Amino acid sequence: MSSTENTRVAIVTGGSGGIGRAVARRLAADGMSVLVHYAGNPARAEEVVEAITAAGGTASAAQADVADETQVAALFDTAEQRYGGVDVVVHTAGVMLLAPLAELDLDDFDRMHRTNVRGTFVVGQQAARRLRRGGALINFSSSVVKIGLVGYTGYAATKGAVDAITLILARELRGRDITVNAVAPGPTATPLFLDGKDEATVDQLAKMAPLERLGVPEDVAETVAFLAGPARWVNGQVLHTNGGVI
């Protein structure tokens, strides 16, 4: 599973999910060796790996709890052992549990905070320590931080924290030639987003963008590929990838 000396190496957390899957496949198509991270579903991760290898790319899967610092350190160890180093980290892993603030179960809030905030911090900590020069860290925020949709209070709060982590870490890595940015998707047709929404709600959300459609995972992967590769002068930014919703 080793890669050639000049091949860049990417870790994609949540790589078996809707957006993570598209990101992993896109980075592999761009020539990177990809470690597809998953939390609890090895079969879905292996599907991504098989799709990448069938297309001529290089990929393998590994499990970790993104909020557990020991497991995340081991995830980075795995990438280094299999492929020789880490150049790109894309942190798509996240949890979204929706309810108005007055009704949100605090256990649900704690679960989102653990995965979305602590997970971003833990993955970012390893990325800051391990990324090679010329590397890139891409976190995942959400356009809902600015759109302010009712029912998203707890989720948006965790993504606001991601924005803060991203902007400051970019400055903390001064002199390392490493970029740190976040992608903030708008309404995107993934299982996570569509779960529990009726057709009328989905249609309403689709019309929010001037382009009058939902995003698709490949739209988001396009932005990630830009930040992971040619976008060396974009740093410390949150890119709202939402078709013009805001």
- Alpha helical stretches, state H, 30-149: 42-54, 69-83, 106-112, 119-130, 144-147
How far is it, in rounded angstroms, from Cα 162 to Cα 182?
A: 8
Edge to edge, the sheet with strand 33-38 lists 58-63, 33-38, 9-13, 88-91, 136-140, 179-185, 238-241
Question: Do the beta carbons of residue 34 and residue 28 sit within 8 Å?
Answer: yes
| 12, amino acid identity | V
Tracing tokens 């689709």 back to the chain, one arrives at 206
How far is it, in rounded angstroms, from Cα 92 to Cα 6?
A: 25
List active site positions.
155
Tokens standing for residue 160:
């606001």
User: Helices 18-29 and 217-228 meet at what angle, rounded to 10?
Assistant: 50
Question: Do the beta carbons of residue 10 and residue 33 sit within 8 Å?
Answer: yes
How far is it, in rounded angstroms, from Cα 59 to Cα 82?
A: 10
Tokens standing for residue 173:
């890595």
